[in-house]
Amino acid sequence: MTRSEIIQQIRSKKSVLCVGLDTDLSKIPAHLLQEEDPVFAFNKAIIDATKDFTVSYKINTAFYEANGLKGWQSMEKTLNYIPKDIFTIADAKRGDIGNTSTQYANTFFKAFDFDSVTIAPYMGKDSVAPFLEFEGKWGIVLGITSNEGSNDFQQLIANGKPLYEQVLTTVSSWGTPENIMFVVGATRKEQLARVRELCPDHFFLIPGVGAQGGDVQTVCENTLNKDAGILINVSRGVIYASSGEDFAEAAGKAAQMYQQEMASFL
């Protein structure tokens, strides 16, 4: 999916909502466990309920890989069910030596037709470059994350600046705002404006809103650009809005609530 197509979705729906399909078999409503594929049954209902309010779905592959072959099949069925005009993210955090990254890129862009994949850039340019060779596909590179352990490395001072700033500026030169996005954690309130200053034109995938403590207002006030330029991910706050038989209806209401708040900033 191209940048202009993403922007069109944002403007059309007045939303920057990305719903995270981090579907945990132990957390889905009990009545779905009778289904042949409970994970897909859950995801299908969530997509039906939220698709009018979201511009992206993020599939955290760990929740599917943990279920072995059946999990990969659930993921494929879920991906194929998502409307084609909605941006899809394989949250896989891959990154390895060049020939291995090429195979990871083939996995998520050829074997599965995702629009993007998240990438860990620690191994450098040759670990990221293979993901940027596909027209209409995106590499979403970890910039600054919202987990507690991000302090271990990302905040370290190197050459007079925090390491995460060097990652953002260096990786930006490997591609363009047409094929590179960055993961920017919403709980890092003090850094949101700085990250936008460093990368004025790139899209950011912003996790951490909701259960992790981030909020839509702070994110929008500090990161929106002329094209919106952000995708705010919410996972648990939408897909687990209810654990009962009304789970899909509750998810739809939660997604609409986020969309309405986002619309006030767009």
Q: How many domains does the chain have?
A: 1
Residue 92 phi/psi, 5-degree rounding, is: -115, -20
Active site residues: 93
Alpha-carbon span 194 to 185, nearest angstrom? 13
CATH code where residue 153 lies: 3.20.20.70
Structure confidence at residue 212 (pLDDT):
65
106 in Cβ contact with 151 (< 8 Å): no
Burial of 97-115, coded b for 16+ CB within 10 Å and e otherwise, reads eeeebbebbebbbeebebb
DSSP assignments along 17-80, one per residue: EEEE----TTTS-GGGGGSSSHHHHHHHHHHHHHTTT-SEEEEETHHHHTTHHHHHHHHHHHHH
Task: Work out whether strand 161-162 and strand 157-158 pair parallel, antiparallel, or are unpaired.
Answer: antiparallel
Provide the token pair at 55.
């511009």
Indicate the angle between helix axes 247-263 and 216-223, nearest 10 degrees.
40
Stated pTM of the model: 0.96
d(CA 46, CA 60): 15
Range of the domain at 258: 3-263
Please report the pLDDT score of residue 189 as a whole number.
76
Helices (H) and strands (E) in the chain, counts: 11, 10
Mean pLDDT by 10 residues, the chain (266 residues): 97 98 95 96 98 98 97 98 98 95 98 98 96 97 90 90 94 97 85 94 91 83 96 96 96 98 96
Q: Give the E-state strand segments of 146-226 in sequence order.
A: 157-158, 161-162, 180-184, 203-206
